[in-house]
Structure 1
Amino acid sequence: MEPRRLTVVRETARLPWTLAIAALAISGWMAWEKFGPQDIGDPIATSLAAFERQNRLTVFSAQLAPVVSASDERIGGLLQSRQVAVIPARVDYTLDLSKVGRDRLNWDAAGKRLDVRLPPVTVGKPNLNEANAQYLREGVFITREAQAKLNRDNTLLAERQAQTAATNPQLLDLARSAARDAVRQNLAIPLEVAGYGPVTVTVRFDGEQVSDR
């Protein structure tokens, strides 16, 4: 009987991401100090300067553990073998800040509010940690060639399964939430330092309505 194909999902620790967001905000402020305008007449330019050196930002990572199996037959079916594998995988979710231009920013001077529209979060290719994989093998005699084939097949299956799991709605929501937090931090500090005082930064993605989330 084939094993149930499960994917165990573990959220990344909150503390490292808090530090990452803080580091992003500081780097955005430094970018404004170096490249930003010398007056406070253009908050859009100030905000774009905060993105100047970010380019592609990793906003979230998911740790997955695909459970896969593969079989092999040789010598007309006389030698049969099977391998079940649990292969840890990490998938990164990134945001392409180079796509954020003036058309994606809107400044409300009266309400001191900046609305930001982001491009979709990109789901990266799974990074398999085969060094920490766990295997269960069945077979009276498994040749070296059969073992190599079982490993290759399970690696391909694990990569496909991790890629599919990474696109589930819950993980995508977590990645978008992390992206919103990072962008808010990255823009609020430069605007405050530029002289606008406390501002409200709202962040949404293409196709979403403006929200204060």
Structure 2
Amino acid sequence: MNGRAIVQVVVGVLVIGALLLAARIGYDRYTEHYVVERRDDGQAVTKVVAATFARASALKVGQLSGTVQSTASDSRLWGMLSSDKVVKAPFQVDYFVDVSRLGRDAYRWDQANRTLTIDAPDIHAGKPNVDEAAATLSQTRGLFVTRKAADQLARRASGAAQNAARAEAAKPERVAQARDNARRALGQLVRAPLEAAGIAGVRVIVTFPYERGGDTERWDVSRSIPEVLANAR
């Protein structure tokens, strides 16, 4: 078998392997999302179908909570079957700072003023959590609401609630509140080990990207944070 034939065989094996892997992934996703698991007697069971653990290094710095009202409508048979749904449910949105992005260059030390400046990444809001199981209101109106229409109304109302909560969390005043709390949280995060090491009276300033436009004065970044703090006594 010449070299060209060997390459063709290898490529063919890789292609077949990729197709089999794609088929397996597709089957697993279909099973996870669409196949109903039942007991031996045919009764559907409540269980966790799939779960994945992911590492995270985000510091929670705030939480927005409240009640959201969402609406949805559906029309079928050329408008002859119209229906709508209104839901009121509690929601929660958490704000985070990714502390894994705080590298060596994120810290600036001013020895003269005993000030530690942290150039933090901006806060980000997590996915809204709308607790539909705790809804205080769920009204569906319509002369005749089919099963498909009811399912569609539920999905649309759920999506509308998510969007409304996400929009509220993104409002400038909400983001400003989260940033203010992030400053306090990051300040406390670094002050605790400083005070435990007997280093008191250090001022901590936290800045975010929107505040750092253009060149800024760089203080002593040639030393690591432990070295800076060791000299802060």
Identity of aligned residues (%): 37
Cα RMSD after superposing both structures: 1.9
1:115 maps onto 2:117 in alignment: yes
1:82 maps onto 2:84 in alignment: yes
Residues 95 and 122, structure 1, Cα contact 8 Å, conserved in 2: yes
Distance in structure 2 (CA, Å) of the matches to 1:160 and 1:195: 48
1:185 maps onto 2:162 in alignment: no
Shift of 1:144: 1.9
Distance in structure 2 (CA, Å) of the matches to 1:197 and 1:61: 30
Shift of 1:109: 1.8
The structure with the largest strand share of the pair is: 1
Residues 79 and 140, structure 1, Cα contact 8 Å, conserved in 2: yes
Q: Which amino acid aligns with 1:154?
A: A
1:135 maps onto 2:152 in alignment: no
Stretches of 4+ aligned residues off by more than 4 angstroms: none
Shift of 1:55: 2.3
Q: Which runs of 5+ in 2 are unaligned?
A: 1-55, 217-233
Q: Which runs of 5+ in 1 are unaligned?
A: 1-53
TM-score w.r.t. the length of structure 1 is 0.68
Structure 1 residue corresponding to 2:105, chosen from 103, 106, 119? 103
Shift of 1:80: 1.7
Residues 58 and 94, structure 1, Cα contact 8 Å, conserved in 2: yes
In the other structure, the counterpart of 1:159 is: 162
Q: How many residues align?
A: 157
Structure number with bigger Rg: 2
Distance in structure 1 (CA, Å) of the matches to 2:109 and 2:85: 58
TM-score w.r.t. the length of structure 2 is 0.63
Q: Which amino acid aligns with 1:171?
A: R
- Secondary structure class of the residue paired with 2:194: helix
